[in-house]
Amino acid sequence: MSSIPAKESHVTSYPKFIGRSLWLATEGSFAFYAWMTMLTMLFLVGANAWANQVAGGMIGTNMTDQVSWGLYIANFTFMVGLAAGGVMMVIPAYLYHDRKMHDVVIIGELLAIAAIVMCLLFVVADLGRPDRFWHMLPGIGKFNWPISMLTWDVIVLNGYLVLNLHICGYLLYMRFLGRKPNPTWYIPFVMLSIVWAISIHTVTAFLYCGLGGRPFWNTALLTPRFLASAFVSGPAFIIVAMVLIKRLTGIGGLDHPIATLTRIIRVTILINLLMVASELFTEFYTGGSHVSAAKYLFFGLHGKTALVPWTWTAIGLNITAALLFLWPGLLGFRWRPLLVAACCMAFVGAWIEKGMGLIVPGFIPSTLHEVVEYVPSQLEWKVTVGIWAFGLMVFTIAIKTALPTLKRPAEH
Amino acid sequence: MTSTETDSTPSSKPSLPIVENFSRRAAVKAGFATLGAGAFVAAISPLRQAAKNTSAAEFMQTHYTELSTEQKADVIARLEAETKEKYGADVTIGDDRPIPGTKFVYAINLSVCNGNGKCVEACHKENNHDRDTNQSYIRVIEMPKGTMDMEQGSTTYTGVVPKDDKFYLPVQCQQCDEPPCVDVCPVKATWKEEDGIVVVDYNWCIGCRYCEAACPYHARRFNWKKPEVPAAEVNPDQSYLSNRIRPVGVVEKCTYCLHRTRRGKLPACLEACPTGARVFGNILDKDSNIRWILENKRVYILKEELGTKPAFFYYFD
Ligand code: SF4
Ligand code: SF4
């Protein structure tokens, strides 16, 4: 492993950079190896469950013709939000020229990469015929574009993945070469990624709110609600990640970004709650048949109450988290554990609200007003945990790749 | 041992830390990687079972509308052989195309329908549905008189029918003229044919179930498992786009029995109905019975506000 001569072409040095980064990313303490081994095992359990699902048909899930999307699509929706939420680091850094955010903005971008990978895995897990995945590829398959929102989603998600791979890859590569990044090679892409982040979540919301036959989803507020909760869950995850990084590696310069993100959540979490409240007001004050899904969600319908505990847990978590975030002390160093707790609550709250609390009630009651309940099967949980483990693996490796950069604050 | 030289920046600190004991670590890592890869292959081994059910020809098959005449003949021969092999039944699979100048519509006389459910049963048999799950394309809703609000209805009613204070509303695919199910399909696996029938290419559908979410009439069904039909009960008169036994993992739907109606017969549900509530025909034919009904009765469609423009009508005497 010799040094890279100045004249060596990128064709050979880029792969070398990737190889070297991966090599270093797999170096670590005993705790690191234990963590990765645990994730690998969980991932293998998930892979095995998925293989069984493909072999035996999706009968192994608890989905039905009435509730035809479940835990997978719920997680998919949430992960899109997480990916989009990473942009809340990019905006202060590049639109408001926050110098200290600049140094760590890459954490948000790496999170976006891991989250999109998980999104794609959740979609594949939900397909009845994953062997026909190629039918979706433009060129060799048949792409129902621009009519189907799902084709739009495929485009924007993959576009966002490529965009972030480029930005992260370029910045880290320049570090590796010891050169100063050339702004023309990444600033335009960073600006594009801000718009793009919003677009991935907008298109994903359109996926649901464009369905006239599903009154629970058919609301114009769905898109802003999606964005607001993404701007809670994304920053919440990054704060926890940064607290951990600081603990484990002693990297400095993270306190300022943590405070900035905390201030952002303070606003977005309230906007999110406000929108939930106005949606509930229109539903319940108006009444009629539109309200039945909301009724099912909050109080149960015809004695069926599977989602009620989920809903109230989410509400409890969201409100507690909101109150904590409003408290000024949370910005102080001494209250880090409380900040982490508030972030976890907001994160889990958003997960329930966007997943089980949004996808499932869209199907209950069904379009013929049957109330068929849905509780995810063990197989679905295994696959889900497997994909989460894989996502965390990607994120851990990605962060480790970036550590040398974070240790030595960038000059750009 | 690694130190990256730089050419453009003044500071040439090593950008990556130095790795000790390279070869021993490489060996350990390679060991772990092999172990991981082996475990992964073992974990996904059930896929081999699944792969056995899909032939290379099936995997490579293109979209129905892109098959040449010879390719279609090959595909159909293969499907017939597969049915023989997997279900032990001799079947003929036709490739029934729309008859020019035909637009099929359906109507149900709600004053006459008494909720006996014979149509549901006939559909189940005619279309080679899975016996276990007792699937059918038709659902009958028992509704209280005086309302069209489905929320007050029930699809799981029991007891003697008809009940005095109820009426019965059979619902199946409405073969919408603006079908949301077709719009949302990401791979064009479902489309509307010239005679108004919305079909699915079961060999192209990827099973994303977006169409199932989009249909406002609960008309689509997913094959959560491989359909089981005893050889003796398989309906051998089949068509590529309708009642041939569906593969696992794809979506299916009512096709107005196109393997019958495009051959001049009536849908199975209509023939099975003992009350004569069902009327079927070509709306473009001025002398047809269905045309007369649509012109002279009080006719309703379901969920008109959604703009799906159903080709399925309900009327009262
Ligand atoms: S009833 Fe449903 S499945 Fe049938 S055409 Fe309309 S939207 Fe499609
Ligand atoms: S389930 Fe099949 S027919 Fe329905 S939208 Fe998906 S690919 Fe199209």
In this prediction, residue B120 carries a pLDDT of 97
Tell me the average pLDDT across A201-222. Answer: 94
What proportion of chain B, given as a percentage, has pLDDT over 70? Answer: 93
Six token digits for residue B183: 């719009």
A410 to chain B: closest CA residue? B15
Task: Say yes or no for a CB contact (<8 Å) between B306 and A213.
Answer: yes
Residue A65, SS3?
Answer: coil
Whether the model pTM is above 0.90: yes
B301 CB within 8 Å of a chain A CB: no
Taking all residues of chain A, what is their mean pLDDT, rounded to a whole number? 92
Best residue among B104, B172, B190, B220 to mutate for probing ligand 1, ranked by most atoms within 8 Å of CB: B220
Q: Which CATH class is domain A62-376?
A: mainly alpha
Cβ <8 Å between B217 and A363: no
Q: In this predicted structure, what is the pLDDT of residue B28? A: 85
> Predicted confidence band at A4 (pLDDT cuts at 50, 70, 90)?
low
Ligand 1 atom showing the smallest separation from residue B175 Cα? 5
Going from N- to C-terminal start, the domains of chain B cover 92-316
Count the neighbouring beta carbons within 10 Å of the beta carbon of residue A372: 14
Q: How far apart are the first and last CA of chain B?
A: 92
Ligand 2 contacts CB of residue B210 (under 6 A)? yes
Q: Is B192 near chain A, with CB under 8 Å?
A: no
Low-confidence ranges of chain B (pLDDT < 70): 1-21
pLDDT at B10: 43
| A153-197 pLDDT tens trace | 999 999 999 999 999 999 999 988 888 899 999 999 999 999 999
What is the model's pLDDT at position B19? 59
DSSP per-residue codes, chain B:
------SS-S----SSPPPSSHHHHHHHHHHHHHHHHHHHHHHTTHHHHHHHTS-HHHHH---GGG--HHHHHHHHHHHHHHHHHHH----EEE-PPPPTT--EEEEEETTT-----HHHHHHHHHTT--TTTT--S-EEEEEETT---GGG-BSS--SSSS-TTEEEEEE-----SS-HHHHH-TT--EEE-TTS-EEE-TTT-----HHHHH-TT--EEE-SS-----GGG---EEETTTTSPPPTT-EEE--TTHHHHTTT---HHHHH-SS--EEEEETT-TT-HHHHHHHHSEEE-TTGGG----SEEEEE-
Percent of chain A's residues with pLDDT above 90: 74
Which residue, B191, B209, B210, is CA-closest to B199? Answer: B191
Ligand 2 centroid – CA A89 distance (Å): 37
Can you give the pLDDT at residue B4? Answer: 41
Q: Give A234-275 pLDDT, tens digit per residue.
A: 999 999 999 999 999 888 889 999 999 999 999 999 999 999
Look at ligand 1, atom 6, and give the residue with the nearest C-alpha.
B176
Say if B209 is an interface residue toward chain A (CB within 8 Å): yes
Chain A, 15 to 34: residues with Cβ < 8 Å from chain B are 20, 23-24, 26-27
What residues of A are in contact with residue B153 (Cβ under 8 Å)? 368-369
What average pLDDT does range A362-385 have in this prediction? 96
Q: What's the CA-to-centroid distance between B189 and ligand 2, angstroms?
A: 6
Is B249 touching A (CB cutoff 8 A)? yes
Q: What is the pLDDT of residue A370?
A: 93
Per-residue model confidence (pLDDT) at position B11: 43
Calpha distance A114→A177 (Å, rounded)? 25
In this predicted structure, the answer to whether residue A406 has a pLDDT above a threshold of 60 is yes
Residue A408: predicted pLDDT: 64
pLDDT at B162: 94
Q: Which residues pair with B191 in a beta bridge?
A: B199
- DSSP 8-state class, residue A94: I
Report the pLDDT value the prediction gives residue B16, as an integer from 0 to 100: 56
Q: Which atom of ligand 2 is nearest to the CA of B207?
A: 1
Nearest to residue A214, comparing CAs of B178, B215, B174? B215
Q: What angle do CA B143, B148, B152 make, to 5 degrees?
A: 45
pLDDT at B24: 82
Do the Cβ atoms of B9 and A292 come within 8 Å?
no
Q: Tokens 């679905």 sit at which residue?
A: A380
Q: Which CATH number is B92-316's, of 3.30.70.20, 1.10.510.10, 3.30.428.10, 3.40.50.720?
A: 3.30.70.20
pLDDT of residue A218: 92
User: Mean per-residue pLDDT for A206-218?
Assistant: 94
pLDDT tens per residue, range A118-153: 999 999 999 999 999 999 988 889 989 899 999 999
